[in-house]
Amino acid sequence: MKQTQKILIVGGVAGGATAAARLRRLSETAEIIMFERGEFISFANCGLPYYIGGEITEKSALTLQTPKSFKLRYNIDVRVCHEVIAVNRNTKTVSVKNLQTNEIYTESYDKLILSTGAKPIDSDEFRSDRIFTIRNISDTYRIKDFLDTKKPQNVVIVGGGYIGLEMAENLYRAGLEVVIVQNRDHVLTTFDYDMACDIHRHIESKGIRLFLNHEVQSFTEKDGRLNITLNRNGEIVTDMLIFAIGIQPDSSLAQDAGLRLTSHGAIIVSETLQTSDPDIYAVGDAVSAVDYVTGQPVYIPLAGPANKQGRIAADRICGIDSRYFGTQGSAILRVFDMTAASTGINETVAKKNGLNYEKVFLRSTNHAGYYPGATNMLIKVIFERPTGKLLGAQITGYDGVDKRCDVLATAIRGKMTAYDLARLELCYAPPYSSAKDPVNMAGFVIENILTGKVKIFHWHDVTNLQKADHALLLDVRTPAEFGNEHIDGFINIPVDELRGRLHELDKTKKIYITCQVGVRGYAAARILVQNGFDAYNLSGGYRLWHSIFGTKPQSQM
Amino acid sequence: MKQTQKILIVGGVAGGATAAARLRRLSETAEIIMFERGEFISFANCGLPYYIGGEITEKSALTLQTPKSFKLRYNIDVRVCHEVIAVNRNTKTVSVKNLQTNEIYTESYDKLILSTGAKPIDSDEFRSDRIFTIRNISDTYRIKDFLDTKKPQNVVIVGGGYIGLEMAENLYRAGLEVVIVQNRDHVLTTFDYDMACDIHRHIESKGIRLFLNHEVQSFTEKDGRLNITLNRNGEIVTDMLIFAIGIQPDSSLAQDAGLRLTSHGAIIVSETLQTSDPDIYAVGDAVSAVDYVTGQPVYIPLAGPANKQGRIAADRICGIDSRYFGTQGSAILRVFDMTAASTGINETVAKKNGLNYEKVFLRSTNHAGYYPGATNMLIKVIFERPTGKLLGAQITGYDGVDKRCDVLATAIRGKMTAYDLARLELCYAPPYSSAKDPVNMAGFVIENILTGKVKIFHWHDVTNLQKADHALLLDVRTPAEFGNEHIDGFINIPVDELRGRLHELDKTKKIYITCQVGVRGYAAARILVQNGFDAYNLSGGYRLWHSIFGTKPQSQM
């Protein structure tokens, strides 16, 4: 390692800032210059929506470091409002434009780190002072100023992903009437449809209109308002519109330099975070990563991986053999009062990769049910057959969702199996958990499936079973529960009466059992199987079925 | 496996009740009888203090199952108020006493499961209507009745372990003036002294007097009050006293049957949970386990392991090859507004086992610092040198402590190293965490130590260093912080001025650095080391030192 090497960093947020600080801690003698096109470095990207909503009240809270603090602490030459406009690989220089003076100059490098991030996908035909995207602090101020000066009463948010829902929540909090338009059948497409249904209901319970399977086709502006035309169901008049339909790698610099990109435009890097030019590293939202679960290339822009990659790139440049082993997509979102978290792959990805997978749904309380304030969470775990390898998990609920998802994320990173989940020894006291934590329960449930103690069926099997002659549909809840609401075609024998009423069941049929959440159904299945029946238990029970089929979001009709 | 085997279970709580339910789910034909000496089965042991404090208001909430519900659901013959008084191994029978009729009868078994639990250690010489222990529902009612009828104004709690502190909190909540007497230098001895100091201060902030290193020597009763004599500092007059000085295995039945016990009286079982008699299984608080981290025998009575063991014993009896691989002691406690959680071994155990260990302390916010409501937690991680194997963790703080301890517990179970912690991909959004989660930070800090990037020293080294000629003590905080409070003997050069003031430091000396929590000290250490100094950073910084030496609890003087 050359001690006096010169390192240039393009982009001063997340991965770039982390790389700069780590580089300096590893080398006092390196010359380090960090270029940032915007005015700010090291800003709290993920906090921007909360500033708009008013939860974060101080602008200063959004910038974690300033060029001055970075110079003092790390002796980094930070140049804000300086845009790197070209990488000249043959001369190992970059061309830089000072955006305040328009002066263009070149700077040489031994090593170059690209941390150019991602940019929002927007639609060129949608241009207006009332139409916004959100990427950086300037965008944030623009929206905030609009709220403060124009006092909009309502907003249409196009896109039901993480940013879309965060903006929905924060603008709702700021007092606006909110409409969400999403072009898919569910919001948060890192989640599966079945796990999004509770979230749809929760969003609608706040008075927000949710247009699923809808697109914005065009708009006109009239009397200071926007007239939005949807592809169906007509028009919406609104004071403002936010496009949050996704982001894409900001990789034009890399592309122009002839570095290898994926077909989606993400910079291709190795485990060492080197691009196709070994003197150029790339990190963060601009790069493609390996999916930690499938081993396939994937584009998952997240702050955690960006920061880790920045650290690793710095290590490599200073001769340390650090490597990046892939991204598993651990993500979390607060949706009003709810929390939605996921890690690993979802069913769509499992199917695309042709994996032999199964899934379970369980509903558990966040802490001991007898201790006040217990709330339910819905957990979906996807695992490989027959190994029990954990592939992914999705959780929605309230308190304690983040904890269970992080435990599952750790288990996935540690290449643990569902059997290991059953053995985890987690911290228990009544205010925090149960003696059998929800994650343990997931392990028990999967173990019972893998070892053949119970066979399951799913919510999407019900419709066919209702028409199938070979199927006997059995609801083992109490008569009161059954009488209140049940799925068409099911007959009722409470689990606690089942042993005495076996003669009522036709042994030539397959018995498909449901209860409320799956626990009693499992006990019933065990009774039936041991008495010679072929029985199946509905994973997630009636409660899950109802959340999917019970009541559609109004605007989804 | 014989399908018609007869299985007796002694003890109807936690491990016993779990075993019974699992047995039935595995075998419809087995004859299963569960004996319980008390009136209740499957009760919420861990919830009892919260009933006394009034957070749990319904008696019915404390019993999770009744003999009737267990019969209906699981076809288990539950006999409450029936005490098994002898195990006759040669005839494979037990002698049972019906405590309501005093009738004694025998019952035969093919397999026997002992789930006899633990009993509070109490002192025979302390007998009074105003002196209590707490183990079961009857004890709980007795205390609750005393509160309701005698209206005590104050209480002395002897013992600062989990039960002692839970009782302290709940009786404080019920309006009593509380005194805690603990015979050690700190409460919660599963924690190390350094991690307990913040808890001491928090307890005292509630107006509770904490007598550390004190014992209750004797008492007299006068005018309906107790006069407690301590071994020093005189007397306390109180309306009631609770002994919570620990629990011991309730293993007399096993002992009388000639089963092998540890020197502390815990029943010795194999990985298969069989006792020295292969037809007799034992689970829960009555048994000795293997420490998952050290591999040594250990007595760690906890609800989580008890439940898991019950399930495994049932599996074994039904021919399934389940095994119990050890207890790691994951535990958590709410102490008023704080949370204290730990997993794996502490320093005392690491020392006793002669392990080559090191420890780090770090203070991190529970979620993004710029998002409102962030609170600090103090994390201690103990790891093995040079492998980085995780040995144990202790965390104190507020929100999010439980999550980090469960992640660390999962990592320990998965035999992960500190390097793995740095790579964990946990869920991040501002309300839940930071892009570098506190657990990631612990991994970074340990990795830097293991790879020689920084050398550390500890709070307990400071006193010697203050007298050492070879040591130069350097505080790199700002002059304002330094001026406010600092450790004697330290000089002040802020980290951000350090590069320009290196000439002020004597290169012949070892430089011992502190900052507030350890982060700036690390940056300073890297500057100094790269400039040829031999530098060490104080783990946990001034903040930790102050929490230990700053202000002793009043009653500790």
Contact assessment for residue A454 and residue A528, using Cβ atoms and an 8 Å cutoff: no
What is the predicted pLDDT for the residue at A413?
98
Q: Which of A42-51, A420-429, B103-112, B469-478 has the lowest mean pLDDT?
A: A42-51
Question: Residue A234: what pLDDT?
Answer: 84
Using alpha carbons, select from B448, B452, B450, B470 the residue that is nearest to residue B518: B448
Q: Do A73 and B495 touch (CB under 8 A)?
A: yes
Cβ contacts of B345 on chain A, cutoff 8 Å:
none
Q: Which residues pair with A112 in a beta bridge?
A: A8, A280
Q: What is the tens place of the pLDDT at every residue in A168-209?
A: 999 999 999 999 999 999 999 999 999 999 999 999 999 999
State how far residue A220 is from chain B, nearest Cα, in angstroms.
35
What stretch of H or E contains B421?
helix B418-423
The pLDDT of residue A3 is 54
Q: Rounded to an integer, what distance in angstroms lies between the CA atom of residue B463 and that of residue B460?
A: 7
- C-alpha distance from B90 to closest chain A C-alpha (Å): 33
Q: Which two tokens stand for residue B510?
A: 């070892």
Checking if the pLDDT of A556 tops 60, the result is no
Test B402 with A292 for CB contact under 8 angstroms.
no
B190 touches chain A (CB under 8 A): no
Instruction: Please give the helix or strand (H or E) that residue B514 lies within, else none.
Output: strand B510-514
For residue B361, give the 3-state DSSP assignment. strand
Active site residue B515: no
Alpha carbon distance B15, B31 (integer Å):
18
Q: What does the alpha-carbon distance between residue A297 and residue A399 come to, in Å, rounded to a whole number?
A: 33
Q: Cα(A375)–Cα(A367) distance, rounded to whole angstroms?
A: 8
* Nearest neighbour of A371 by CB, restricted to B47, B303, B307: B47
B162 pLDDT higher than 50: yes
The pLDDT score that the predictor gives to residue B65 is 84
- Side chain identity, residue A444: F
Kindly state the helix (H) or strand (E) to which residue A512 belongs, with its residue range.
strand A510-514
Q: What percent of chain B has pLDDT over 70?
A: 98
Over residues B137-162, the mean pLDDT reads: 94
Find, among A316, A266, A318, the residue nearest to A290 by Cα. A266
pLDDT at B551 over 80: no
Strand B111-114: give its sheet, edge to edge: B77-80, B31-36, B6-10, B111-114, B280-282
Structure tokens at B27: 């075998």
**Closest chain A residue by Cα to residue B3:** A530
The pLDDT of residue B45 is 81
Chain B residues whose CB is inside 8 A of the A424 CB are 409-410, 413
d(CA B47, CA B57): 11
Question: Domain map of chain A by residue range?
Answer: 6-119+248-317, 131-245, 345-374+382-450, 455-550
Distance CA A194, CA A204 (A): 17
User: For residues A374 and A322, is the Cβ–Cβ distance under 8 A?
Assistant: no
Chain A contact present for B389, CB below 8 A: no
**Closest CA relative to residue B490, chosen from B480, B477, B501:** B477
Beta-carbon contacts below 8 Å between A and B: 238
Nearest-angstrom CA–CA distance, A39 and A79 = 9
B557 touches chain A (CB under 8 A): no
Average confidence score pLDDT of chain A: 95
Q: What percent of chain A has pLDDT over 70?
A: 98
In this complex, the residue of A56, A73, A416 whose CB is nearest that of residue B414 is: A416
Q: A131-245 and A455-550 share one CATH topology?
A: no
**Cα angle: A113, vertex A118, A123; to 5 degrees:** 150
- CATH number for the domain running over B6-117+248-317: 3.50.50.60
Q: Is A65:A36 a contact under the CB 8 Å cutoff?
A: no
Helices (H) and strands (E) in chain A, counts: 17, 30
| Per-residue pLDDT at B557 | 40
Residues of chain B in contact with residue A343, where contact means CB-CB under 8 angstroms, are: 425, 427
Quickly tell me which residue has 């006899």 as its tokens. Answer: B116
Residue located via tokens 């250990």: B298
A495·B73 Cβ contact <8 A: yes
Short-list A327, A290, A341, A283, CA closest to A162 = A341
Q: Which two tokens stand for residue A279?
A: 């003197």
Q: Where are the beta strands (DSSP E) in B42-92?
A: 77-80, 82-88
B292–chain A Cβ distance below 8 A for any pair = yes
DSSP string, A24-76: HHH-SSSEEEEEESSS-SSB-GGGHHHHHHTSS--GGGGBS--HHHHHHHH--
Q: How far is A513 from chain B (nearest CA, A)?
A: 16
pLDDT digits (tens, 9 = 90+) for B489-520: 999 999 999 999 999 999 999 999 999 999 99
Return the CATH architecture of domain B337-450: 3-Layer(bba) Sandwich (3.50)
* List of chain B residues whose C-beta atoms are within 8 Å of the C-beta of residue A523: 25, 73-74
3-state secondary structure A105-149: EEEECCEEEECCCEEECCCCCCCCCCEECCCCHHHHHHHHHHHHH
Rounded Cα gap, residues B497 and B388, in angstroms: 34
Strand, helix or coil for residue B279 = coil
Neighbouring C-beta atoms of residue A230, cutoff 10 Å: 17
Partners of residue B394 on adjacent β-strands: B342, B380
Fold for the domain defined by A131-245: FAD/NAD(P)-binding domain (3.50.50)
Q: What is the mean pLDDT of residues B368-387?
A: 96
**Which of B425, B433, B444, B499 to mutate: most A Cβ within 10 Å?**
B425
In this structure, what token pair is assigned to residue A309? 């990659």
Query: Which residue type does A274 have?
Result: Q
What is the rounded average pLDDT of the residues B320-332? 97
Mean pLDDT to the nearest integer, B439-457 = 98
Q: Do B426 and A303 touch (CB under 8 A)?
A: no
CA end-to-end distance (rounded Å), chain A? 64
Cβ atoms A39, A332 nearer than 8 A: no
Pull the structure tokens for residue B330: 């994951």
Q: A438-468, pLDDT tens digit by residue? A: 999 999 999 999 999 999 999 999 999 999 9
According to CATH, the superfamily of the domain at A345-374+382-450 is: FAD/NAD(P)-binding domain (3.50.50.60)
Determine the average pLDDT of the residues in B190-208: 97
B76, B248 contact by CB (below 8 A): no
Strands, E assignment, B233-301: 235-238, 240-243, 247-249, 280-282, 289-290, 297-298
Burial class (CB in 10 A: 0-12, 13-18, 19+), A319: exposed
Q: What is the pLDDT of residue A530?
A: 97
Q: Which CATH class is domain B455-550?
A: alpha beta
Cβ–Cβ gap A420/B413 under 8 Å: yes
Residues 6+ apart with CB under 8 A from A126: A216, A219, A241, A243
Is A368 at the interface with chain B, CB within 8 A?
A: yes
Give the angle subtended at the CA of A410 by the CAs of B379 and A460, to the nearest 5°. 140
B207-233, pLDDT tens digit by residue? Answer: 999 999 999 999 999 988 999 999 987
Amino acid (1-letter code) at residue B428:
Y
Cα B541 from chain centre? 25
Distance CA B460, CA B138 (A): 45
Picking from A506-510, A543-547, B63-67, B424-428, which range would have the lowest pLDDT averaged per residue? Answer: B63-67
Average pLDDT over residues A505-531: 97
Residue A1 has pLDDT above 80, yes or no: no
What is the percent of chain B where pLDDT is above 90? 88
Contact: B47, A430; criterion CB under 8 Å: yes
Query: Can you read off the two tokens belonging to residue A141?
Result: 């101020």
Task: Work out the mean pLDDT of chain B and round it to a whole number.
Answer: 95
Of A46, A197, A318, A515, which residue is the catalytic one?
A46
Would an 8 Å CB–CB cutoff place A70 in contact with chain B?
A: no
Please tell me the predicted confidence (pLDDT) of residue A183: 95
* Best CATH choice for the domain A6-119+248-317 from the list 3.20.20.70, 1.20.1740.10, 3.30.420.40, 3.50.50.60: 3.50.50.60
DSSP A345-393: --HHHHHHTT--EEEEEEEEESS-TTSTT--EEEEEEEEETTT-BEEEE
Choose among B130, B136, B177: nearest CA to B153: B177
Q: Is B372 touching A (CB cutoff 8 A)?
A: yes
Tens-place pLDDT, residues B293-307: 999 999 999 999 999
Which residue in B46, B81, B318, B515 is the catalytic one? B46
Q: How far apart are CA B240 and CA B144, in angstroms?
A: 12
Q: Token digits for B491?
A: 């000089």
The one-letter amino acid code at B445 reads: V
Q: Are B237 and B228 in contact (CB under 8 A)?
A: yes
B538-to-A24, B294, B452 alpha-carbon distances in Å: 21, 28, 15
Q: Do B64 and A411 touch (CB under 8 A)?
A: no
Cα distance between residue B557 and residue B549, in whole Å: 12
pLDDT digits (tens, 9 = 90+) for A73-108: 999 999 999 999 999 999 999 999 999 999 999 999
Residue B62 DSSP label: G
Is residue B341 within 8 Å of residue B409, measured between CB atoms?
no
Dihedral, CA of residue A477, residue A480, residue A484 and residue A486, to nearest 10:
20
What backbone phi and psi angles, to 5 degrees, belong to B518? 120, -10
Predicted pLDDT of residue B137: 85
Between CA A121 and CA A245 the distance in angstroms is: 6
The minimal CB distance from B25 to the residues A368, A416, A526 is found for A526
Contacting residues of B for A372, CB less than 8 Å apart: 55-56
| Predicted pLDDT of residue A557 | 40
Confirm or reject contact between B165 and chain A (CB < 8 A).
Answer: no
